[in-house]
Structure 1
Amino acid sequence: MISAAALRARAEGLAEALPPLLAEAEHLAQAVLLGEHGRRRAGMGDEFWQYRPVHAGDEARMIDWRRSARSDAHFVREKEWQAAQSVLLWVDDAASMGFSGGNHPPKAMRARVLALALAVLLTRGGERVGLLGSDLSPRRGPHQILRLTEVLGRDLSQSDYGVPATRGMPPHSRAVFLSDFLGDLGPVETALTEAADQGVKGALLQVLDPAEEAFPFDGRTIFESMGGTLRHETLKAGDLRGRYLARLAERKERLADLARVTGWHYSAHHTGEGAQGALLWLFRALERGR
């Protein structure tokens, strides 16, 4: 068994080793003023929610006699249901996420910061957060944030494009996928279908670099995948712009359609924008998917 002192020393060492990612995520979470993750439902809990009139079948012990004495009717005091949700994150760690076309953070860094900031907000609201594709099952508390930081701080894989991980999603939980979604969309469709079959709903956030949104290339250009497996050279890159932008728009539309038919939400975000709006959208998308 690990002693409390040893655990604390390990946690402090981890926090010192990975300050940029965690510090940026904490700062981003603080900047987004959000209420507690909505769980307004009557049931077992400690917090008062509301008074309601007595219904047929209510036991006498459920009546709040002090509140009832102030009127001609009898009332029951209800408490707020506080069962925590499980939220699973998948953050694409493929080589394509390492791309940066200018003075912007790599897509991987933005995706990781957003995922970790979302986890900070959710755990502060009492939710359990886990990481798909790892051994981090949904848990709550500050130690889980440190575990997430450790895994998210690892190097990217050598694969050109990522495939969503779905193994380990509890039925009726929530999930968030963060990726550039520039690879084959077949695995994404399979993942969303499997999730929908288990009653899992969530959000897709497509993270792109501004250069990938605008295609500012012209003249002789060599295009090469981040993993080095794909390469294309052209003398007239500008002639490809129209076709590229059309295919990107089609890809976004397909992602939006996949999200719609499976009960998920989709949005695109590029690294030239501030991260706060994307974090707010993610949080609200989870609220809408309840």
Structure 2
Amino acid sequence: MVAPGAHGLRRAGPGEDFWQYRPATHGDTARSIDWRRSARSDSQFVRDREAQTAQTVALWVSGGQGMAYAGAPHRPNKGARAQLLALALAMVLLRGGERVGLLGQPARSGRMQAERLAEGLIRAAPAKGDEDAPSPEALRPNQHLVIISDFLTDPSWLEALLTRAAALDVRGVLMQVLDPNEENFPYSGAVLFRSLSGAVRHDSRDAAGLREAYQARLAGRRDWLRAQAEGAGWRFGHHTTDHAPALALSWLYQVLEG
């Protein structure tokens, strides 16, 4: 279950959650005294609440042409699943009073923002080729960033992005979305592999013979992504399109809450 809520600032201020007791001082009104706590002592105490604020979350979903891949007619393509996760996460965050926007666009709160985000995701122009990456220049100080991609193309752009993110105190999440065929590599015999853009092609006479090397390379890519994320104080997760999106949504929300 995903339960949205406000975020504590670990200091006294306006909010609903208890923060700490402190001795009453000059200027505290009778209404602010916690008489039950004060009755256990010779002094009077005030019950402070924790200051709370909304966080600002930016979303970026890859539009690389490879995101249009689906390995079976009954499964959504990666791009559709990524958009679903982004929009569902946005709706949960907005319901909790957060400010949310697509990276490079204003982050707002409120019900109407969900409609703007849905329209923005649907109307986003796909990349001209397989490569796609968010611009480090679009980052804003102290925001959270959620990046959803298959991360199957050259990921070297991530280092520059995370360097700038650290300078701006931006924390975030990397979510890799793959089709089960890309996870398990169930191919055998003669297979022609090509990217959806047609830029990359590989003609194999024995696809099964590539499985072990492919899976080792995929594991290596994930290890690299996880190391990059953790080194910057970010988190890395992955999701396949044959799994329930609610599982990935819950994980994303919990990471942002933490």
Shorter-chain TM-score above 0.5? yes
Asked if 1:60 corresponds to 2:60, the answer is no
Contact kept, 8 Å, 1:99 with 1:226, in 2: the verdict is yes
Contact kept, 8 Å, 2:7 with 2:54, in 1: the verdict is no
Asked if 1:100 corresponds to 2:37, the answer is no
State the Cα deviation string for residues 117-176 of structure 1 (Å, max 9, x = none).
1111111111111111x4x21111111111110011125332212212333322222111
Contact kept, 8 Å, 1:37 with 1:122, in 2: the verdict is no
* Correspondence for 1:216: 186
Compare the two structures and name the one with the higher strand fraction: 2
Asked if 1:178 corresponds to 2:145, the answer is no
SS in 2 for 1:78: strand
Q: In the superposition, relative to structure 1, how do residues 188 and 69 fare at CA in structure 2: closer, same or farther (>3 Å)?
A: closer
* Correspondence for 2:242: 272
Q: In the superposition, relative to structure 1, how do residues 66 and 257 fare at CA in structure 2: closer, same or farther (>3 Å)?
A: closer
Asked if 1:263 corresponds to 2:233, the answer is yes
Contact kept, 8 Å, 1:98 with 1:156, in 2: the verdict is no
* Correspondence for 2:47: 77
Deviation at 1:287, TM superposition (A): 2.0
Deviation at 1:46, TM superposition (A): 5.1
How far apart, in 2, do the equivalents of 1:148 and 1:120 lie? 9
How far apart, in 1, do the equivalents of 2:145 and 2:94 lie? 14
Contact kept, 8 Å, 2:59 with 2:101, in 1: the verdict is yes
> How many matched pairs?
253
Deviation at 1:50, TM superposition (A): 4.5
**Superposed, which structure 2 residues align to 1:232-251 within 5 Å?**
232-251=202-221
Superposition misfits of 4+ residues, deviation over 4 angstroms: none
How far apart, in 2, do the equivalents of 1:219 and 1:66 lie? 76
TM score, norm. by length of structure 2:
0.90
* Backbone CA RMSD of aligned residues: 2.0
TM score, norm. by length of structure 1:
0.81
How far apart, in 2, do the equivalents of 1:51 and 1:253 lie? 42
Deviation at 1:60, TM superposition (A): 3.0
163-172 or 98-107: bigger deviation: 163-172
* Correspondence for 2:118: 149
How far apart, in 2, do the equivalents of 1:60 and 1:235 lie? 83
Q: In the superposition, relative to structure 1, how do residues 35 and 126 fare at CA in structure 2: closer, same or farther (>3 Å)?
A: closer
Deviation at 1:59, TM superposition (A): 4.1
Deviation at 1:93, TM superposition (A): 1.2
Q: In the superposition, relative to structure 1, how do residues 78 and 259 fare at CA in structure 2: closer, same or farther (>3 Å)?
A: same
Contact kept, 8 Å, 1:51 with 1:75, in 2: the verdict is no
Within the candidate set 226, 229, 251, 2:199 is matched to 229
* Correspondence for 1:11: none
What stretches of structure 2 of length at least 5 have no aligned partner? none
Q: What fraction of aligned residue pairs are identical, expressed as a percent?
A: 38
SS in 1 for 2:197: coil
State the Cα deviation string for residues 212-246 of structure 1 (Å, max 9, x = none).
00011111111111112111111111111111111
How far apart, in 2, do the equivalents of 1:75 and 1:92 lie? 53
